[in-house]
Amino acid sequence: MSRLKLIEGLFRHALGGAMLALVLSASAHAAAPAAEPVAAPTLPPTIVTQVCAGCHGLDGNGTAPANPKLAGQSEQYLMRQLQGFRIKEGGTAAERQNQLMAGFAMMLAPDTMREVAAYYAAQKFRPSAARNKELAVAGQKIYRAGIAAKNIPACSGCHGPSGAGIPVQYPRVGGQYAEYVAAQLVAFRQGTRKNSAPMSAIAARMSDAEISASAEYIAGLR
């Protein structure tokens, strides 16, 4: 065996051991408790490069509209979402339903969750864009003024005029993929996402057309 192949074999063995340690560490922890933000890693954690980046990109902006942009989102908010995918003690259903994310969230130890959240929170956000001008104009009215006849409040009341949100409480939505925003509103309406009672109540009163319009405007919001 050449020296180069020997070094390569040792590296692969060490990396495999590191991933095994990550899973074993996760099984020894319960759901992550609330914690103070941690310093963002200078380099992406191993779990980000080997798992998360596949859907969300190494910089948290991703390329597939079905997956959310995570870059620049509040660290505490990202933590809450990861925790929301976990099945609770006693087998209680998770607050968010996604088989892929549930599998990842269940294997992450609390400290690893915090590292992932801190890393993506520190990345530079690259906003999406609206593609349908007519639909975006209709969505602008809903976002800014709501729909009084259906008791739907203005989105800007919680997420801000520019969609920047209020860190920890309400996420930044401006510049998020329209497809992802629409899918989450539908999930709130159907009850498959249950981690915000206000959003569930609001989405329950929105039609498909209103959801599509709102999502399109949000995608181009700055």
Digitized pLDDT (tens) for each residue of the chain, 222 residues in all = 443 333 334 334 333 443 334 333 333 333 444 455 566 666 899 999 999 999 999 999 999 999 999 999 999 999 999 999 998 877 788 999 999 999 999 999 999 999 999 999 999 999 999 999 999 999 999 999 999 999 999 999 999 999 999 988 899 999 999 999 999 999 999 999 999 999 999 999 999 999 999 999 999 999
- What digits encode the pLDDT tens for the residues 108-149? 999 999 999 999 999 999 999 999 999 999 999 999 999 999
Instruction: Please count the residues of the chain.
Output: 222
Alpha-carbon separation of residue 64 from 40, 56, 82, 158, 178 (angstroms): 25, 8, 19, 26, 11
73, 18 Cβ separation under 8 angstroms:
no
Residue-level pLDDT at 24? 35
- What domains can you pick out in the chain, each with its CATH number? 3-121 (1.10.760.10), 133-219 (1.10.760.10)
